[in-house]
């Protein structure tokens, strides 16, 4: 797992991130979702590292990265704060410009990264996500029934108590699906009540402050400046909830928006790593041509 990668803790302005880095050449930043850690990418990272520098951090509040202090507006867990972490991390590693790929909750950080720091993001790939504002504006009984956890996780204290009473039963997962080492890393995270709290704060930030940042962007007419691709899992419920995923993203993106569904369940990096790595490699190929090793 992560053969040839180095593992380190990087202290930033307001967070410390656990990160794996491997390879050389143009950089790709891979951002995980909930309740995973960066280790969810291990099969994909091993396929990308031949032609790229691959950077896989635990987002703040997740895994072995630091957990933000609690505030009434949950700003420490906002996607804006996490995007700033990414900028600082990549500059520490020597990259002022890089491709960003985000899955699930990590897709919101990747989106915010491209919106707040357009000069830094050469390409943006979103996996299984739409902007938080768009999701909330489309919220109906069907959404509430399918994604009820968004609203449960926004409640104080109760989500952490429910999850930590039986984390394996709550979250699922298995070594067969994830790989033995990846599963062990995942268990270490979900069995830690402090990390569970950090992960749940990501949802509280979504419903308190992140959607306000999206709304501000819309009012100001800001859009994604770089080429953008969106992929979604055909065996998950994003397409069932929203229909035309690209139509939702079109007002936020430039003219180069592309995308499609992939034959996978939600955790595509674990379920179809070869296919996902091919899609990422194909999407970032122009960066490799422009910045040869």
Divide the 293 residues of the chain into consecutive groups of 10 and give the mean pLDDT of each group. 96 98 97 98 97 97 98 97 98 98 98 98 98 96 93 96 97 94 97 98 98 98 97 96 96 93 97 98 83 61
Give residue 254's pLDDT: 80
Contact 114, 124 (CB under 8 A): yes
Contact 130, 238 (CB under 8 A): yes
Measured torsion, CA atoms of residues 210, 216, 222, 223, in degrees rounded to the nearest 10: 30
Contact partners, residue 84, CB within 8 Å, separation at least 6: 13, 14, 116
Give residue 125's pLDDT: 98
Q: Round to whole Å and give the CA distance between 236 and 261.
A: 10
Q: Round to whole Å and give the CA distance between 86 and 113.
A: 8
200 Cα distance to chain centroid:
14
266 is catalytic: yes
Give residue 289's pLDDT: 63
User: What class does CATH assign to 6-290?
Assistant: alpha beta
DSSP 71-87: -TT-GGGSHHHHHHHHH
Query: Of the listed 51, 104, 116, 185, which one is catalytic?
Result: 104
In 3D space, the residue among 132, 90, 88 whose CA is nearest the CA of residue 109 turns out to be 132
104 is catalytic: yes
Please tell me what DSSP assigns to residue 67.
P
Q: Round to whole Å and give the CA distance between 224 and 88.
A: 20
Position of tokens 């699922």? 172
Instruction: List the domain boundaries for the chain.
Output: 6-290
Contact 252, 223 (CB under 8 A): yes
In three-state secondary structure terms, 205 is helix
Give residue 285's pLDDT: 86
Q: Round to whole Å and give the CA distance between 251 and 256.
A: 12
In 3D space, the residue among 63, 23, 64 whose CA is nearest the CA of residue 46 turns out to be 23
Give residue 286's pLDDT: 79
Contact 190, 196 (CB under 8 A): yes
How many alpha carbons lie under 13 Å from residue 42 in its C-beta half-sphere?
Answer: 20
């Amino acid at each position: 797992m992560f053969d040839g990668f180095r593992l380190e803790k990087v202290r930033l302005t307001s967070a410390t991130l656990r990160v794996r880095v491997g390879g050389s050449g143009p950089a790709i930043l891979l951002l995980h979702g909930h309740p995973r850690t960066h280790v969810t990418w291990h099969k994909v990272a091993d396929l990308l590292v031949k032609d790229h520098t691959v950077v896989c951090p635990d987002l703040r509040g997740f895994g072995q990265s630091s957990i933000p202090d609690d505030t009434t507006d949950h700003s420490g867990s906002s996607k804006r704060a996490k995007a700033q972490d990414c900028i600082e991390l990549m500059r520490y590693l020597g990259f002022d410009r890089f491709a960003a790929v985000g899955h699930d909750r990590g897709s919101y950080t990747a989106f915010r990264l491209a919106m707040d720091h357009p000069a830094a993001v050469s390409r943006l790939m979103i996996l299984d996500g739409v902007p938080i504002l768009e999701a909330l504006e489309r919220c109906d009984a069907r959404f509430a029934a399918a994604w009820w956890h968004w609203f449960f996780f926004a409640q104080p204290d109760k989500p952490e108590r429910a999850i930590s009473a039986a984390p394996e039963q709550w979250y699922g997962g298995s070594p067969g699906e994830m790989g033995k080492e990846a599963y062990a890393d995942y268990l270490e995270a979900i069995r830690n009540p402090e990390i569970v709290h950090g992960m749940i704060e990501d949802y509280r930030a979504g419903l308190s402050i992140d959607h306000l940042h999206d709304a501000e962007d819309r009012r100001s007419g800001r859009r994604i400046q770089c080429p953008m691709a969106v992929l979604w899992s055909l065996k998950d419920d994003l397409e069932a909830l929203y229909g035309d995923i690209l139509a939702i993203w079109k007002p936020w993106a430039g003219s180069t928006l592309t995308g499609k569904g992939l034959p996978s369940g939600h955790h595509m990096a674990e379920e179809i790593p070869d296919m996902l790595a091919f899609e990422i490699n194909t999407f970032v190929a122009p960066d490799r041509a422009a910045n040869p090793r």
